[in-house]
Amino acid sequence: MAAIEVIQLSKRVADVAAAATVVSKAGELAILHDVNFNVPAATTLAIVGASGSGKSTLLGLLAGLDTPSDGTVKIDGVDIFALDEDGRAAVRKNKLGFVFQSFQLLGHLNAVENVMLPLELRGDAEARSKAERMLARVGLASRLKHYPKYLSGGEQQRVALARAFVTEPPLLLADEPTGSLDATTGEAVIKLMFELNQERASTLVLVTHDASIAARCARTITIAAGRLV
């Protein structure tokens, strides 16, 4: 069974200011059109394409953070758009980790509290010890009590990686994970992300504009004008 199955997935919006490249006869903007692909378990996939091609929209649909106009996504055989929002939230909690370009750390929580959060949402009694071990794994054992505003961009992204991996999700989605980092720091973060993914034999799907990052993945797909090339 595929970890992810994307079936005739389309996304259209009426807002003329949306980042889209195709206009339908009905006057809607087609951000994605009839996208189909499968992602085997325990593999790595890069989604590439020009700015505005629909890459991040596709990733949001894979996570169930947005809803499609047509088609669907199956995660481990489960049609996530046959579920209500609570059901999709449960899939995200149990099966997905997500790494954002802008880190998305909670400013009022320190590093260890940010990493503990998804564990606490699961009711894990060992949330703190697991979070501390994960932060040590990403090289931040001495920064546990630091708040995001006192961490560098690279450190914040490592906290975000620790938060994404701490629940040991079978699927990790990453949206331009080095987009806010300088080249050297970005290289270190990417190396760490692939190491963690290999250690846990999880499935990694990442959106990137960097050809060198895409080349590290087992497979690459290209989105152009909302279509799979």
pLDDT classification of 2: cutoffs 50, 70, 90: confident
Please give the distance of CA 4 from its chain centroid, rounded to a whole number. 13
Q: Per residue in 115-163, pLDDT tens? A: 999 999 999 999 999 999 999 999 999 999 999 999 999 999 999 999 9
Query: Considering the entire predicted model, what is its pTM?
Result: 0.88
Tokens of residue 168, six digits: 């040991």
Q: What is the C-alpha separation between 160 and 172, in angstroms, rounded?
A: 12
Q: What is the C-alpha separation between 48 and 55, in angstroms, rounded?
A: 7
* CB of 166 closer than 8 Å to CB of 135: no
Count other C-beta atoms under 10 Å from residue 126's C-beta: 10
* CB of 34 closer than 8 Å to CB of 11: no
Q: Reduced to 3 states, what is the DSSP secondary structure of residue 14? A: coil
Tokens of residue 20, six digits: 């889209």
The mean of the pLDDT values for the chain is 91
What is the pLDDT, as a whole number, of residue 60?
Answer: 94
Q: Per residue in 70-110, pLDDT tens? A: 999 999 999 999 999 999 999 999 999 999 888 999 999 99
Q: What is the C-alpha separation between 169 and 99, in angstroms, rounded?
A: 12
What is the pLDDT, as a whole number, of residue 22?
Answer: 53
